[in-house]
Amino acid sequence: MNTTELKEFLDSKVLEYNNPKFIDSDPIQIPHRFSLKEDIEIASFLAATIAWGNRKMIIKNADKIMQLLGNSPYDFVMNHKTHHLDAFDGFVHRTFNAEDLKYFISSLKNIYLNHGGLEKVFMSHASEHSMQPAIHEFKKTFFSINHPSRTLKHVGDPNKGSAAKRLNMMLRWLVRNDHAGVDFGIWTSISASKLSCPLDVHSGNVARKLGLLKRKQNDSKALTELDTALRKLDPKDPVKYDFALFGLGVFEGF
């Protein structure tokens, strides 16, 4: 396919999958339960954090986290006492466990109390064309209070070679206004043009088959390469192609 044909093909797949029907089988259903801005962004952050592995298990365990937070994530984060975190004991999603979750809640409280909230941390460090510097700075802020060393691995850092798939997915949810009812678009201080595709096995393999990506590893260098290709197709909304790449990989076995 030439560039025009490729764009037409991918645009058609975006229309197919960037659709409210997509929500039921995706972790984005978790933040869709809420209407308060802070509830949506905290639920998005926590659901995205455990978004690897079996999708049904991701949704089940993200739902369990919401139950542990009394289905009021922001209220719990801001008003919890240390002993309230004891209820998390026994929680586990793959390598993310109760110790990690306890720290995440404590750190979120610090971010809302002392750093102006999640949106402000990301907005303050975005570059002109990318959110990757903001992800790096967010990780520094997130771990700026006393933390277990084991928990560091659960937040990606582009400066250390990570494609930061889960945070890029969260940013798509919160920044991009798709006018279709899937992505929220509640972080209006950040432009969708700066977003990057959540790069994982599915989107990476499809991108390679379509000639959008040559690098074999799904790392920060591959993400930069994919960013460059997708921005040529749509400089204002490059991350919309996540729906096409993901849908082709997961639902069509492309």
Q: Give pLDDT, residue 21.
A: 92
Domain residues for the domain of 240 are 3-250
Q: What is the predicted pLDDT for the residue at 251? A: 87
| Nearest by Cα to 203 from 184, 227, 235 | 227
- The answer to whether the CB of 177 falls within 8 A of the CB of 164 is no
Is residue 43 within a helix (H) or strand (E), and if so which, with residue range? Answer: helix 37-49
Instruction: Compute how many other C-beta atoms are within 10 angstroms of the C-beta atom of residue 89.
Output: 11
Q: What is the DSSP string of 99-159?
A: HHHHHHHHHHHHHHHHSS-HHHHHHHH--SS-SHHHHHHHHHHHTSSS--GGGGGGS--GG
How many domains are there within the chain? 1
Supply the Cα-derived Rg of the chain in whole angstroms: 18
Collapsing DSSP to helix, strand or coil, 85 comes out as helix
- For all residues of the chain together, what is the average pLDDT? 96
Reported as a pLDDT band with limits 50, 70 and 90, residue 73 is: very high
Strand 92-93 and strand 96-97: the pairing is antiparallel
pLDDT band of residue 254 (cuts 50, 70, 90) is: confident
Mean pLDDT of 115-123: 98
Q: How would residue 10 be classed by pLDDT, with cut points 50, 70 and 90?
A: very high
CB-based burial label for 72 (10 Å; 0-12, 13-18, 19+):
middle
CA distance 59 to 228: 31
Q: What is the mean pLDDT of residues 123-144?
A: 97
Query: What residue type is assigned to position 144 of the chain?
Result: S
Q: What is the pLDDT of residues 142-201, one digit of tens each?
A: 999 999 999 999 999 999 999 999 999 999 999 999 999 999 999 999 999 999 999 999
239 close to 176: Cβ distance less than 8 angstroms = yes
Residues 5-29, mean pLDDT to the nearest whole number: 95
Burial class (CB in 10 A: 0-12, 13-18, 19+), 73: buried
Within 10 angstroms of residue 152's Cβ, the number of other Cβ atoms is 14
Tokens at 207, concatenated:
């991108």
Does pLDDT of 81 surpass 90? Answer: yes
d(Cα 88, Cα 31) in Å, to the nearest integer? 20
pLDDT at 1: 82
Judged by DSSP in three states, 187 sits in coil
Give the Cα separation of 81 and 185 in Å (integer): 32
For 196-217, the pLDDT digits (tens) are 999 999 999 999 999 999 999 9
% of the chain at pLDDT higher than 90: 95
Query: Which tokens in the block code for residue 230?
Result: 């997708």
